[in-house]
Structure 1
Amino acid sequence: MNIRDLKLYLHLCETCHFGITANAMHVSPSTLSRQIQRLEEHFGHPLFIRDNRQVQITQVGEKVKQFAQQVINQHQQLRQELDQSNQQLMGELTLFCSVTAAYSHLPDILDHFRINYPLVEIKLSTGDAADAVEKIKSNEADLAIAGKPKQLPSGIEFLKFGEIEMVLLIPKLNSSFNDKLHQKKPDWHNIPFILPEHGPSRHRIDLWFKQQKIINPKIYATVAGHEAIVSMVALGCGVALLPKVVIENSPERIRERTTQWPTNLMEPFDIGICVQKRRLSEKIIAAFWAISNLNLSHIPKGKR
């Protein structure tokens, strides 16, 4: 649950119409529906009564509405306080993200932060996205862009940016396993896979193997970092299930050598920024967190 979720909820409370709110808040109706369902799961009660003709807010929904408005008001007050002291904010902030996230999600947030807090020095390091949460736990980074793990460690706060779609990437040119791949029913047991070592992507890949009843997949390599996996697929070493955003931000020459293969849809996973909860009281971290939250509405649809 974050400020963006609460703003979507408040807008829906006013319109009582999923289509109108989705259009006004620049999200798809399905995304809006999922966000509301997550709020309902969080509070443990239905917030709306829905049928084919109307949407009505419940009594619990009214209480949550009051809560959401209070949180947003407090958030705006914090923003004003931060704005008043922005020129005095000095120090160092360490960030960690994957190379892909440095292209896709970080620039807009970092640009806004630097405009508001020009005296803060940013130290950025990149690496395997699957290591992002661990970097935060070990204090190797103040904040990190990460895929949300199946179980978020206690003491870690996660601000969702959007959802990451997984796709199957195969070499476009002929490969040693070309005949097995292009059968009427691909021989997945004998097609080499290139896998990430761990993280949310690996979790969904393991689920996909179970769905396809692939008990002992043929593993060409296990690699740290999605960007390297794309290159290995382009070279014809194997196939890979990867976040679509990684492929979209790969060099054009690499993309030209690969193609996406139709496969069973996998559940996307959340991407966002994470931090130790106890450190949100630190001024620089709180300022970056507030900028990140406010910047959600400016992230292009394709990245949400």
Structure 2
Amino acid sequence: MDLYALKCFVNLARTLHFGKAGELSNLSPSALSRTIKRIEEEVGKPLFIRDNRSVSLTRAGELFYAYAKKALQEYQELQESLEEEPAQMGGEVSIVSSLSAAYTVLPPIVKRFRLAYPNVTLNIRLLDEQAPMIEVTENEADCAVLLSLPDYVPKGALVHRWGETPLVFIRPILECRAKSLTAKTPIEWGEVPLVLTRSDLCRRRVESWFRGRDVRPRIVSEVDSFEEVLTLVSLGSGVGVVPELLIRTEAIKPNVQILEVYPKLVGYNYGLVAMRRRLQHPVVRAFWETVTLGNEPSLPQ
């Protein structure tokens, strides 16, 4: 059983989807299925339960998943220890990020690291707003780049804060009910339709703000990302709440306006998170030190 086969297995165990795992492995779903079948034949046990709708790990699959991740990690450590010069360091760093962080915080730090370590592969995965932190704490990734650092840091985690971005209310530019309701003085917030992410951190900020005004928010839509909030608000679905940093990025041109309110919402701290034990690996430590030392990343103004 070779390392490539183990990587294919890990990709499928992580995604539980032959199409997505095939893309990560550069294989067609049928070729990936044959690879998994060969692994199962060598192990002598079925590792996945397959049906027409889903894929899941068997008990043997869960045990083999732990083995495969450890084997791949130990091989990477061996490669890193054989490197003689830091500038020639190879290997891989796995990074998880939300799409909003990928638009804002991630590009300058990736550029900084690639200039310093051109031979290191950055395996970047984009997830829903809350998922990157879970991936890091469950040892599924080396580092998480977050536009919203958690209020409470898990035991064993190391956090680097780069800065803060305000959370702002946004309304549509086009003429619609949400815009007309927020044009009134004072705004009748109990009538205003809201579009929010399912992020616990964002919800806590918004609910605290409304409690301070003794108003029950009228939430009409909940989505998985701030980009979806921007899209729905620009279409006139309601008023949303997003990090101001996201609106300033060149990659996004939202048809929305910032709605000035008082008091302001409590903002987000953005930065990097990793479990301390992962920094024992030279290539992960090199990534952490390169992107956290020196100046704050150059972000949209």
Give the Cα–Cα distance (whole angstroms) in 2 for the partners of residues 163 and 100 of structure 1: 14
For 1:41, the equivalent position in structure 2 comes to none
Give RMSD over aligned pairs: 2.1
Q: 1:113 to 1:250 in 2, by over 3 A?
A: closer
CA deviation string 1:226-276 (max 9, x = no partner): 111101000000101110011222756x42x21111102123221100001
Q: Is the 8 A contact 1:95 1:142 kept in 2?
A: yes
Equivalent positions of 1:1-304 (< 5 A) are: 85-146=85-146, 147-215=148-216, 217-249=217-249, 254-255=253-254, 257-264=255-262, 265-295=264-294, 297-300=295-298
Contact conserved, 2:169 with 2:240, CA < 8 A, in 1? yes
Counterpart-to-counterpart distance in 2, 1:235 and 1:290: 42
CA pair 178-100 structure 1, distance change in 2 beyond 3 A: closer
* Inter-partner Cα distance in structure 1 for 2:177 and 2:103: 33
Q: Counterpart amino acid of 1:92?
A: E
Task: State the partner residue of 1:28.
Answer: none
Name the residue aligned to 1:43: none
CA distance in 1, matches of 2:281, 2:200: 28
Q: Using the TM superposition, give the Cα deviation of residue 98 of structure 1 relative to its aligned residue in structure 2, in angstroms.
A: 2.2
* SS in structure 1 at match of 2:274: strand
The residue number in structure 1 matching 2:51 is none
Distance 1:160 1:291 in 2: 14
Q: Write the distance in 2 (CA, Å) between the matches of 1:199 and 1:246.
A: 18
Give the deviation of 1:142 after TM superposition: 1.1
Structure 1 consecutive aligned stretches of length 4 or more whose deviation exceeds 4 Å:
none
Give the conservation status (yes or no) of the 8 Å contact 1:86–1:116. no
In the TM superposition, residue 123 of structure 1 has moved relative to its aligned partner by 1.0
Q: Give a deviation string over 1:168-227, Cα, whole Å, max 9, x none.
A: 100111113444322221111111101110243222112111122223x21111111111
TM normalised by structure 2 equals 0.67
Q: Where in structure 1 are there 5+ consecutive unaligned residues?
A: 1-82
Question: How far apart are residue 105 of structure 1 and its match?
Answer: 1.8
Shift of the alpha carbon at 1:139? 2.3
Cα distance, 1:110 vs structure 2: 1.4
With the length of structure 1 as denominator, give the TM-score of the two structures. Answer: 0.66
Whether the 8 Å contact between 2:243 and 2:268 is mirrored in structure 1 is no
Distance change (3 Å), C-alpha of 1:188 and 1:284: same
Task: Name the SS of the counterpart of 1:214 in structure 2.
Answer: coil
Going from structure 1 to structure 2, the CA distance change for 1:225 and 1:133 (only over 3 Å counts) comes to same
Change (3 A) 1:259 1:159: same
| AA partner of residue 91 (structure 1) | G
Match of 2:38 in 1: none
Q: For structure 1, which segment, 155-164 or 112-121, has the greater mean C-alpha deviation from structure 2 after superposition?
A: 112-121
- Per-residue deviation, 1:141: 1.8
Cα 1:298–1:243 shift into 2, 3 Å: closer
